Amino acid sequence: MNDSDRTPADLLRTALSDDPSRPLVTYYDDATGERVELSVKTFDNWVAKTANLLQDELSAEPGDRLALLLPAHWQTAVWLLACSSVGVVAELGGDAARADLAVSGPDTLEAARACSGERVGLSLRPMGGRFPQPPDGFVDYAVEVPGQGDQFAPYAPVDPDAPALVLPEGGELTGAQVVERARADAMARGLGPGARLLSALPYDGWDGLSAGLLAPLAAGGSVVLAPRLERLDAASLEQRKENERVTHTAG
């Protein structure tokens, strides 16, 4: 942890300098059996590639509004940090018709079509696979992101006091406010370096984003993101916690 961090992207840079090899995000889809584990370094690489896609290919600029129409998923976490890296305002479940860009999963493509700007589609298939048939009017994230650069540098410095996140429950947070709230949540949950939080909360508001990414990141911990955890029986859940060395739970 670094007290000088003032944006979510700053938190990730600190995590990368502290221990790039430790797990940061472990994602389970208990409907398909998928498990993906990303170290800090691997997660940062995905963020850098996505930020380069945003800045260079999609021409996004600081202050642009991005309707983020994705469920709780490891790729959603990547997009949140990529937006922070560029200075783009991530509007969680935002109105695509009023956004400069829209990023959509397979279940929200119609809503995303209301965006008159660039539209990016994610199949959310295991291992970040492509759409079997690319949706008309969308850039296929899985096709475009692999060729992006592994390092990212913004064309303009990101202002920590500029808007960074808009929540469905209302309220617009700056980057600095996101970090402040994430740190407060980490303290309230008793998270510290090495903590491993199992979260079943959806990414439909602050609580889900905080437990499912931001608070563990701010604390120097990691998250096991399992939005379909209700599919497990009690014995399987306890086995999951043991296997993943879970120290805290949410949802």
Domain presence at residue 2: no
**pLDDT the model gives residue 47:** 98
What CATH number does residue 188 fall under? 3.40.50.12780
Domain presence at residue 174: yes
**pLDDT the model gives residue 169:** 87
Q: Determine the length of the chain.
A: 251
Domain presence at residue 3: no
Inter-axis angle of helices 40-52 and 74-86, to 10 degrees? 60
Domain presence at residue 101: yes
Mean pLDDT by 10 residues, the chain (251 residues): 87 97 97 96 98 98 98 98 98 98 98 98 94 95 97 96 95 97 98 98 97 98 96 96 98 83
Domain presence at residue 1: no
d(CA 92, CA 33): 26
- 105 touches 70 (CB < 8 A): yes
Domain presence at residue 178: yes
Global pTM? 0.97
Cβ of 33: how many Cβ atoms within 10 Å? Answer: 8
**Domain range spanning residue 99?**
8-250
Domain presence at residue 140: yes
